Amino acid sequence: MGEPSSQAGHRAVDHTGDVAIELWAPTEPALLCEAARATVALMTEAAPGATDHAGGGGRARVLLDTLDREDRLVQWVNEVIFLAVSEGLLVAGADIDIDDRGDGGVVSAELRLSPLPPSGLDTELKSATYHDLRVERGDDGWYRARVVIDV
Amino acid sequence: MSYRLDRKGAYQYVIPKAGAMRVPGLIFASPAMLPSLESDKSLDQVVNVASLPGIVGHSIAMPDIHWGYGFPIGGVAAFDPDDGVLSPGGVGYDINCGVRLLRSDIELEEASGALAELSMALYRAVPAGVGSKSPRRLTQKELDRVLLRGAEWAVNSGYGHQADLSAIEESGCMDGADPGAVSERAKERGRPQLGSLGSGNHFCELGVVSEIFDREAAADFGLRENTLTVMIHSGSRGLGYQVCDESLRAMIRASERYGIDLPDRQLCAAPLRSPEARAYFGAMGAAINFAFANRQMMTHFAREAMAEFFGRDDLGLDLVYDVCHNIAKWENHVVEGEMRRVCVHRKGATRAFSPGHPDVPERYRRSGQPVLVPGDMGRYSYVLAGTKRAMELTFGSSCHGAGRKLSRGQARRTAKGRSIFKDLEGRGIYVRSDSKRTVAEEISEAYKDVADVVDVIDSAGIARKVARLSPLAVVKG
């Protein structure tokens, strides 16, 4: 599920009704950043990372109370979708801290946002799903994940 | 994984009970459909659903089944009130995604020279596309009324006629809806979208009745050969997606609390009598009502556009019926020879109640409930009628469409280098959409031939063919 390389990455995978993304990154926060890049790319048909470092949409703070590592990925992707469809803002970058002590865990993130392009969104994503969901940390310390998104 | 499939009767296959399955699987398919069914995880999903607590009868799959998440799309499952569960994954994200059909007195020849203009009139009238928004700005109080009263709110607000309500499943208003169970975030996401199609496989289609199979039922449904129809396919938009997403998390916790083993987390569920299930029923009911009101508003927009285009109001654009595709609700069915109240989940499946059933509008009691089965935008759609056999075999359920065959990526690759708009226009079908990408993803080749799906349904006797509709103009999201 994704070749480790020197940097995080992702690829979209065909799924009959929906779309799946596979992600890999050296840390869990980096994995979530990559998930945001992948989600924005799916919604905007932009090249992945096209909005990185873009600004103009301000900043926002996000706190997610999560059940576990897999739920963190689903909730995070859904936060990125919600900001785009309801607030008209794309996540262009994030500083993420994960506190996974105790039950579940808390994601706190400082988001850098950019406004939607004038043409709007190209694809409407409904939600990340828990189906066939995987987040694993390999022996090499890298995180690899797969999430199916309902389109 | 491969499964033993025992042929049971015409177009029926049984997956015998094994392992964690509490009931057998029952698949409606033709022999030709089996290889594609076995090539993905659809059958795994039928088997997973069969393992849920309190399931009764069979875990059922319609011939338009395809690989979903949790439940297969095209899946039907019913649960006992005492031992059974309610699963948001058995309803899906687009709660009460559904389809409705309007008939008319407009003869094809009256429109045939003007389809390009008529398709543009519908395109302008019905908000469509990614992030499409309503012309109506709702207050918080109005949105709560929508969530409580559904299509009735829309009709009372000037979008349609009182007579429309009796031609909608549940009369367009789900009992037990609780706007208070819908989060502010879900309301924020849905509020600007009421009265809009959205994108993906949603559409508003002008068609013509091209063939009648059952004259008596067609007459009861008001369908005459060579007259125009309008079909609208949409759901609860962002409000429903958000309700589902938030409910899943609550249900994952509930599954742990009640010790429910989950072969797939998306199947998370809670006992039907639990507080978690009650909360989801309330929120789901509200989203169902949002979808009923949504389709009702678009019906009004389409009627206005047609009346303006033809310069008269007496077009006979009456609602034939409105059916839900993604829903869970209490119904009475015979299980093991005994009439019982069960909670039926339909995910990508249509209710198909028989002639004489008390929940079928009186004017359709002779023929059975209209079952609307849209195909792809380049071929045809079908109108069927519910049967007694469906009551016996499938908890009064039938298929909901053609069923995807290609992934969206495969469809785009297949469409590459072709002008889908021009190809279809050459065949007399005018497609209007902001998104070439959506149209490429929705090409005919992306879907099974709905005629094959409907033949299985008709041959198995779980609905019968009444009429075929051919597309003339399609507004895609």
HEC profile for B262-288? Answer: CCCHHHCCEECCCHHHHHHHHHHHHHH
Identify the residue whose tokens are 């095209």: B74
Residue A3 is assigned to a structural domain of this protein: no
Q: Mind telling me how many Å the CA of A21 is from chain B's nearest CA?
A: 13
Contact assessment for residue B233 and residue B326, using Cβ atoms and an 8 Å cutoff: no
CATH class label, B6-476 = alpha beta
Contact assessment for residue B59 and residue B26, using Cβ atoms and an 8 Å cutoff: yes
Q: Mind telling me how many Å the CA of A22 is from chain B's nearest CA?
A: 15
Is the Cβ of A45 closer than 8 Å to some Cβ of chain B? yes
Q: Looking at chain B, which residue has its C-alpha nearest residue A74?
A: B245
Is the Cβ of A121 closer than 8 Å to some Cβ of chain B? yes
**A130 contact residues in B (CB cutoff 8 A):** 69-70, 89, 248, 252, 264-266, 268
Is the Cβ of A71 closer than 8 Å to some Cβ of chain B? yes
Of the candidates B199, B408, B437, the beta carbon closest to that of A19 is on B408
Q: d(Cα B328, Cα B346) in Å, to the nearest integer?
A: 6
Measured from the Cβ of residue B122, the count of other Cβ atoms closer than 10 Å reads 23
Q: d(Cα B106, Cα A130) in Å, to the nearest integer?
A: 47
Q: How far is CA B20 from the centre of its chain?
A: 30
Q: What is the DSSP letter of B94?
A: S
pLDDT at B182 over 50: yes
Tens digits of per-residue pLDDT, B370-391? 999 999 999 999 999 999 999 9
Is residue B450 within a helix (H) or strand (E), and if so which, with residue range?
A: helix B450-460
**Cβ-defined contact of A123 to B70 (cutoff 8 Å):** no
**Cβ-defined contact of A19 to B409 (cutoff 8 Å):** yes
CA distances from B59 to A32, B51, B292 (A): 36, 9, 27
Identify the residue whose tokens are 């497609």: B431
What's the number of domains chain A is made of?
1
CA dihedral of B264, B266, B268, B272, whole degrees rounded to 10: -120
In this prediction, residue B146 has a pLDDT band, given cuts at 50, 70 and 90, of very high
**A151 contact residues in B (CB cutoff 8 A):** 200, 408
What is the arithmetic mean of pLDDT over B203-212?
A: 98
Binned average pLDDT, 10 residues per bin, chain A of 151 residues: 68 81 97 97 74 74 95 97 94 95 88 91 92 95 96 88
Q: d(Cα B267, Cα B171) in Å, to the nearest integer?
A: 29
Q: d(Cα B325, Cα B403) in Å, to the nearest integer?
A: 13
Residue A1 is assigned to a structural domain of this protein: no
Q: d(Cα B285, Cα B376) in Å, to the nearest integer?
A: 29
Name the average pLDDT for chain B. 96
Q: What is the CATH number of the domain that holds A58?
A: 3.55.10.10
The one-letter amino acid at A91: V
Q: Which of B346, B345, B340, B256 has the alpha carbon at shortest distance from B81? A: B340
Q: d(Cα B185, Cα B199) in Å, to the nearest integer?
A: 21
**B409 contact residues in A (CB cutoff 8 A):** 12, 14, 19
**Cβ-defined contact of A150 to B200 (cutoff 8 Å):** no
Q: d(Cα B363, Cα B167) in Å, to the nearest integer?
A: 10
Q: d(Cα B401, Cα B387) in Å, to the nearest integer?
A: 18
**Cβ-defined contact of B252 to A130 (cutoff 8 Å):** yes
Please, what is the Cα angle at B170 between B167 and B172, to 5 degrees? 65
Q: Mind telling me how many Å the CA of B62 is from chain A's nearest CA?
A: 16
**Cβ-defined contact of B131 to A150 (cutoff 8 Å):** no
Of the candidates B241, B264, B404, the beta carbon closest to that of A127 is on B241
What is the arithmetic mean of pLDDT over B345-362?
A: 98
Of the candidates B41, B266, B408, the beta carbon closest to that of A151 is on B408
Domain boundaries, chain B: 6-476
Residue A48 is assigned to a structural domain of this protein: yes
Q: What is the DSSP letter of B353?
A: P
The one-letter amino acid at A20: A
**Cβ-defined contact of A85 to B435 (cutoff 8 Å):** no
Of the candidates B69, B130, B185, the beta carbon closest to that of A18 is on B69
**Cβ-defined contact of A122 to B130 (cutoff 8 Å):** yes
Contact assessment for residue B396 and residue B76, using Cβ atoms and an 8 Å cutoff: no
Tens digits of per-residue pLDDT, B407-456? 888 999 999 989 999 999 999 999 999 888 889 999 999 999 999 999 99
What is the arithmetic mean of pLDDT over B4-28?
A: 95
End-to-end CA distance of chain B: 36
Is the Cβ of B199 closer than 8 Å to some Cβ of chain A? yes
Q: Which residues, other chains included, contact B466 with Cβ-Cβ below 8 Å and sequence gap of 6+? A: B212, B213, B214, B217, B218, B221, B223, B367, B370, B382, B383, B384, B385
pLDDT of B9: 83
Q: For an interface test with A, give the residue of B245, B256, B325, B436 to mutate (most A CBs within 10 A).
A: B245
Tens digits of per-residue pLDDT, B317-332? 999 999 999 999 999 9
Measured from the Cβ of residue B160, the count of other Cβ atoms closer than 10 Å reads 23
Is the Cβ of B283 closer than 8 Å to some Cβ of chain A? no
Q: For an interface test with B, give the residue of A69, A76, A130 to mutate (most B CBs within 10 A).
A: A130
Tens digits of per-residue pLDDT, B232-272? 999 999 999 999 999 999 999 999 999 999 999 999 999 99
Identify the residue whose tokens are 């309803």: B91
Domain encompassing residue A135: 9-150
